[in-house]
Amino acid sequence: MKAKLHGVFGLVALLCIVTFWLSTVVAELLLDQASVVFVKNMVVAGMWVLIPAMAATGGSGFSLARSRRGRLVEAKQRRMKMVAVNGLLVLLPSALLLARWASAGRLDAGFYALQGLELVAGATNITLLALNLRDGRRLAGRR
């Protein structure tokens, strides 16, 4: 049961980040400034789902890893550390600042530079979480 919950928490976290990333790209490339402001604010609101999902994923994964060792478990642990650092030091602060700047109408070069950094960091976390999902399925005996 713990492994199933871990998978659900991880999937929710991954889907949140993918949704934030895709919404940002679509708003920036295809929609107007009001849509960009809306998306930036909804990303911040979505942190109320993402942060608990990430914490639950990490906590349940840590608990599951106590009884297991091996290459896949160690790889998942390394990736989750990178995801956490990336999220706490880059993604969360940039999401908060971008939402503030967008709401203030400050869509200037600084906004787009930070937006670019956030998109790269988000893509990195999507990749790392997807790799963890793959390895988690392998550990569970599913392909």
Read off the pLDDT of residues 64-110 as tens digits, 9 standing for 90 and up: 878 777 888 889 889 999 999 999 999 999 999 999 999 999 999 99
Kindly report, residue by residue over 43-68, the tens digit of the pLDDT: 999 999 999 999 999 888 888 878 77
Kindly report, residue by residue over 128-141, the tens digit of the pLDDT: 999 999 988 888 77
Backbone angles phi, psi at 2, to 5 degrees: -60, -40
Distance CA 104, CA 42 (A): 15
Distance CA 15, CA 52 (A): 13
Cα first-last separation, the chain: 19
Domain limits of the chain? Answer: 2-139
Fold observed for domain 2-139: Four Helix Bundle (Hemerythrin (Met), subunit A) (1.20.120)
Distance CA 51, CA 56 (A): 9
